[in-house]
Structure 1
Amino acid sequence: MKANYSRLLRKTALFTVLSVFSAVGFSQSVEERLERLEQMAESRGQLQADVMFQINAIQEELQNLRGQVEEHEYKLKQLQDRQRDLYKDIERRLSQLQNMGQVSSSSSSDSSESSDSSSNLSSIKSDDVHGAYQEIFSKVRAKKYAEAVTEYKAFLTQYPNSQYEASVHYWLGQIYFIQQNLDAALNEYKIVTSKHGNSSRAPDAMVKQGKVLVLQNKLDEAKAIFNKVIENYSGAPQQLAKNELQKLKNSNR
């Protein structure tokens, strides 16, 4: 009887010990699982953050590339406009020469010689305008800015109201901007936008006007100029103005 009772006690004690160890093992297993789940959630959150950062970076790069493409398209349009204007000027000159030839053929020989002489002088003068402008612009490309400024001013005096007047003021503004003569640059850009608002130089001159105002810390005026560009123009000038406004916003200025 005592032996059976002793055996029962040993079994009960063994069962109790096994139950305790089993409970401890189960508790540790749950904690480990929770820890693994937390690690997985943290890793997934970090991965999502990295993906979002990469997406934002790609979007920003695409926006910059889009702005560059539009800027190149704008420059190409400027070249096409200049080429079209040049063709029109050539056609106009040819038409004038043809009319002069018809008049001279119906007049006396003395009158014909006088007409031909007048025609030649007119042609030479027009060629001088184009040649003079190209010669000065070659100095701008060669970075001979002091010479270019002097000759541009002489050009404006010698050839007032020429088809290159807006371009001359624009390039004077560019030279002054490079030389950090901001007041002079701003004045030249304003001449382009106020007196030659329909020229192909006007949109870019207005953007540059805003950039000068930013450097002069006239931020409200600069923002007004950039918004005016956005309202009145499309393509590259509009995108450039938006980029400048975004820069001001990012710098909290």
Structure 2
Amino acid sequence: MPPLRRAPLLLALALACAYVPQGRAALFEDSEARRAILEMRQRVDALQQSGQRAGEDNAQLRRSLLDLQSQIDALKAEVAGLRGQNEQLGREVAELQRRQKDIAQGVDERLRQFEPVQVSIDGQQFQADPGEKRDFEAALARFREGRYADAQGLFATFLKQYPGSGYLPSARFWLGNAQYATRDYKEAVQTFRALLAAAPQHARAPEAMLSIANCQIELKEVRGARKTLEDLLHAYPQSEAAPAAKERLARLK
């Protein structure tokens, strides 16, 4: 027990002894007095020990509270760290998902570059590879730009590269026209005849036959031109090329 708390107890004990009546004080023997003092001291010591234990308990409680607070602070810090890690993981997962989506889209786009596409040209419908379609359209673009020599080379390459293409009749038709434009009449005749032999019912067949006649006229093959025009009128009387064939045939006669 702290000194300040012990002082009032000792003072009370002294006063109690001082106010004992003289008559009765004489009745106490020395042994009884010593026993009483010893009991009083034991009580005081017990109170002191009790106070010390209470103080120790309080100190222990304070240390326990401090330890608990430290643990709570540590847990808060750990939770905050875990929350930050979760947020970072969430961002990383979102980024991975975005990349996966981009990769999937890129793969789909690359696959589409190789998937056959539906083509409709000159009344014909067929499947063609994207590269095949691109090469044909590039050659046709050169022809329409008036770059006939370039178109002639591109169409000739196309025929060699895609011998089974659905574009073949149309490619031969435009190759023949490019050859005619560059005054390569004999080659043009061969190209148009190849078209007629492979696809006599093609939409461009009547025009191809008319073009053969024009090439023959340029080559001064009048008899051959006349025969070609007559064959055209016989094979394709209802075609758009028929009126032009009649006109040219009349002039040749």
Q: TM-score, normalized by length of structure 2? A: 0.49
Q: TM-score, normalized by length of structure 1? A: 0.49
Larger Rg over CA atoms: 2
- Between the two structures, name the one with larger relative contact order (CA 8 Å, sep ≥ 6): 1
